[in-house]
């Protein structure tokens, strides 16, 4: 059984997203893709309790490409129960026919360091 207890030293999902959005305002040439899982509102008959999500952070805004989000930009794009498993740094703005990965997958907290947005490690 995997321990899913949050690390007390790690920021909450809302705080992490807010910090990453702030950093992304200064990096219009970068997009951060967060991937992870969200708990299902009701247990799935197959026994699955989670579903995958993908969130993009670009120019100070978060946008889910897999789930609806609140219209209010002051509300976090992910619920507190979300589990972010990885972050990938991409060249921005995104071009779907020529997506360029710059770094990752890495832990999302890696990108709390503005220097990590330079993409020192290739994908």
- Tell me the pLDDT tens digit for each residue of 2-52: 344 444 456 798 899 999 999 999 999 999 999 998 887 766 566 567 889
DSSP-derived pairing of the beta strands 30-39 and 83-91: antiparallel
Which residue(s) pair with 31 in the sheet?
90
Nearest to 89 by CA among 18, 23, 37, 38: 23
pTM of the model: 0.79
- pLDDT confidence of residue 105: 95
- pLDDT confidence of residue 4: 43
pLDDT tens track for 70-112? 666 677 778 788 899 999 999 998 888 899 999 999 999 999 9
What is d(CA 67, CA 52) in angstroms, rounded to the nearest whole number? 9
């Amino acid at each position: 059984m995997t321990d899913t207890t949050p690390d007390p030293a790690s920021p909450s999902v809302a705080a992490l997203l807010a910090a990453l959005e702030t950093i992304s305002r200064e990096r219009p040439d970068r997009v951060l893709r967060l991937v992870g899982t969200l708990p299902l509102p009701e247990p799935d008959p197959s026994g699955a309790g989670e579903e995958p999500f993908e969130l993009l952070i670009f120019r100070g805004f978060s946008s889910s490409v897999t789930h609806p989000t609140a219209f209010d930009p002051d509300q976090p794009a992910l619920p507190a129960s979300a589990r972010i498993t990885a972050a990938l740094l991409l060249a921005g703005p995104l071009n779907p026919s020529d997506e360029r990965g710059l770094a990752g997958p890495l832990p999302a907290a890696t990108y709390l360091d503005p220097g990590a947005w330079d993409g020192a490690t290739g994908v």
